[in-house]
């Protein structure tokens, strides 16, 4: 039994290299590692929020006639959100216009009477009192016309404001009214978030704030869609959590479709000063049993090397692994099934 176990152990130790030698050459695509000065970073989970929101309200009371939007709709500046019934208001506007026409006719008559009084006064054909009466009648008609025009303008403004519009390019976060509702002045009809000011609020340790520089770009992943993009550090909120001492950092991102407030996102926040790191494509990294490895090519064979990821750079990573020098070819395609010491054939990149 001991002799059997000895030979069995010997087979287990010796068989993998033998199998690797017998494996046919693997066709791979490689990239050369480069050296860059970058800062280490670490992934933090944050939430998507709209940094600029508006509780859109009505300036005039009225009955809701039509609601044009639903929650989640994208709207542009000036797009109608809700319209109020203006039937009675339209009648009032028509009445004011008719009265304004009456005032215009009286003003025209008063102007002619004043002209006649001026001629007669010059010829001594009337008294100064009659002239003054004609002049004051004309000025009174003129002021009445201005007053009627202002009243009509006020009604037209009221009608214009009976259609509540989007204050900026936005997504509708909440709809608060339905057709047939009565709204008072100041009633909140909808809530909108500016699509151009979508940010990620990320809680980070206060000790890391010295490494966070406004304007610096950082890798971001929208977790729900595995969507990778680049964000920009905007600022940090001036209030720390009294219990954890974490501070929220705001990361600005480009406008995104089909996202919801409070969705999660991963942000790779700087955690150290800039230093030289070896940079390789992210496709070169293979994770095995919780450890990260890359395959390099040396003398026509694959060599497996464990790496420490110090920085995530979108489709690249930075590592401080000793011995991984600039110019070292790393496998970026065909590394999923590679084995150490397996012969490889380097193919041209497609």
Quick: pLDDT tens for 273-301: 889 999 999 999 999 888 999 999 988 89
Asked if 34 and 279 touch (Cβ cutoff 8 Å), the reply is yes
Judged by average pLDDT, the poorest of 2-11, 138-147, 156-165, 236-245 is 2-11
> CATH number for the domain including 31?
2.40.30.170
Judged by average pLDDT, the poorest of 121-130, 203-212, 214-223, 258-267 is 121-130
Q: What is the DSSP letter of 263?
A: -
Residue 167: inside a domain, yes or no?
Answer: no
Residue 314: pLDDT band (50, 70, 90) is confident
Comparing C-alpha atoms, which of 33, 24, 27 is closest to residue 346? 27
Asked if 161 and 8 touch (Cβ cutoff 8 Å), the reply is no
213 and 149 in a single domain? The answer is no
| Mean per-residue pLDDT, 165-185 | 95
In whole numbers, what is the pLDDT of the chain averaged over residues? 90
> CATH number for the domain including 136?
1.10.287
CA–CA separation, 144 and 155 (whole Å): 17
Is 70 exceeded by the pLDDT of residue 9?
Answer: no
Bridge-partner residues for 54, per DSSP?
Answer: 192
Quick: pLDDT tens for 126-153: 888 898 999 999 999 999 999 999 999 9
| Final residue in a domain of this structure, among 133, 160, 187 | 160
Q: How far from 308 is each of 41, 218, 280, 290, CA to CA, in Å?
A: 12, 19, 12, 12
Tell me, what's the pLDDT at 20? 44
Tell me, what's the pLDDT at 23? 66
Q: Which helix (H) or strand (E) holds 291?
A: strand 291-298
Quick: pLDDT tens for 91-110: 999 999 999 999 999 999 99
Residue 10: inside a domain, yes or no?
Answer: no
CA–CA separation, 322 and 339 (whole Å): 22
| Final residue in a domain of this structure, among 160, 186, 214 | 160
124 and 202 in a single domain? The answer is no
Residue 111: pLDDT band (50, 70, 90) is very high
Quick: pLDDT tens for 18-43: 444 556 788 999 999 999 998 999 99
Range of the domain at 219: 24-51+196-350
User: Exposure string (b/e) for 50-77, b if CB count within 10 Å is 16 or more?
Assistant: bebbbebebebebebeebbbeeebebee
Alpha carbon 78 to chain centroid, angstroms: 19
121 and 221 in a single domain? The answer is no
CA–CA separation, 325 and 247 (whole Å): 37
DSSP secondary structure of 17-82: HHHHHHSPPEEEEEEE-EEEEEEEEEEEEEEEEESSEEEEE-SS-EEEEEE---TT-EE-TT-EEE
37 and 99 in a single domain? The answer is no
| Final residue in a domain of this structure, among 107, 141, 160 | 160
Say which residue, 349 or 328, is predicted with more confidence. Answer: 328
Burial class (CB in 10 A: 0-12, 13-18, 19+), 165: middle
248 and 142 in a single domain? The answer is no
Judged by average pLDDT, the poorest of 252-266, 301-315, 336-350 is 336-350
202 and 346 in a single domain? The answer is yes
| Mean per-residue pLDDT, 157-175 | 95
210 and 145 in a single domain? The answer is no
| Mean per-residue pLDDT, 72-86 | 95
90 and 224 in a single domain? The answer is no
140 and 45 in a single domain? The answer is no
Q: Report the number of distinct structural domains present in the chain.
A: 2
- The number of CA neighbours under 13 Å toward the Cβ of 299 is 2
32 and 100 in a single domain? The answer is no
CA–CA separation, 12 and 121 (whole Å): 131
């Amino acid at each position: 039994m001991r002799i059997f176990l000895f030979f069995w152990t010997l087979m287990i130790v010796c068989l993998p290299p033998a199998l690797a030698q017998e494996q046919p050459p693997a066709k791979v695509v490689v990239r050369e590692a480069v050296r860059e000065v970058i800062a280490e970073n670490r992934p933090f989970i944050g939430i998507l929020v709209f940094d600029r929101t508006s509780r859109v309200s009505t300036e005039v009371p009225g009955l809701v006639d039509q609601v044009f939007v639903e929650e989640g709709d994208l709207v542009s500046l000036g797009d109608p959100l809700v319209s109020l019934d203006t039937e009675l208001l339209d009648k009032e506007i028509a009445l004011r216009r008719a009265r304004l026409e009456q005032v215009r006719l009286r003003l025209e008559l008063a102007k002619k009477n004043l002209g006649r009084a001026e001629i007669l006064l010059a010829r001594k054909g009337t008294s100064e009192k009659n002239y003054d009466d004609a002049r004051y009648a004309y000025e009174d008609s003129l002021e009445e016309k201005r007053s009627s025009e202002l009243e009509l303008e006020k009604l037209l403004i009221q009608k214009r404001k009976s259609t509540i519009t989007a204050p900026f390019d936005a997504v509708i976060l909440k709809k608060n009214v339905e057709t047939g509702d009565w709204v008072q002045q100041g009633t909140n009809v909808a809530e909108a978030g500016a699509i151009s000011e979508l940010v990620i609020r990320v809680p980070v340790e206060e000790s890391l704030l010295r490494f966070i520089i406004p304007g610096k770009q950082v890798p971001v992943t929208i977790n729900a869609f595995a969507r990778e993009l680049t964000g920009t550090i905007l600022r940090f909120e001036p209030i720390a959590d009294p219990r954890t001492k974490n501070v929220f950092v705001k990361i600005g991102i480009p406008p995104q479709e089909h996202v919801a407030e409070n969705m999660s996102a991963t942000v790779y926040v700087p955690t150290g000063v800039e230093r030289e790191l070896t940079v390789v494509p992210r496709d070169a990294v293979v994770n095995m049993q919780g450890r990260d490895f890359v395959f390099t090519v040396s003398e026509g064979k694959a060599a497996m090397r464990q790496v420490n990821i110090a920085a995530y750079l979108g489709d690249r990573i930075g590592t401080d692994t000793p011995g991984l020098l600039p110019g070292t070819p790393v496998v970026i395609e065909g590394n999923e099934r590679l084995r150490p010491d397996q012969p490889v054939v380097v193919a041209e990149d497609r």
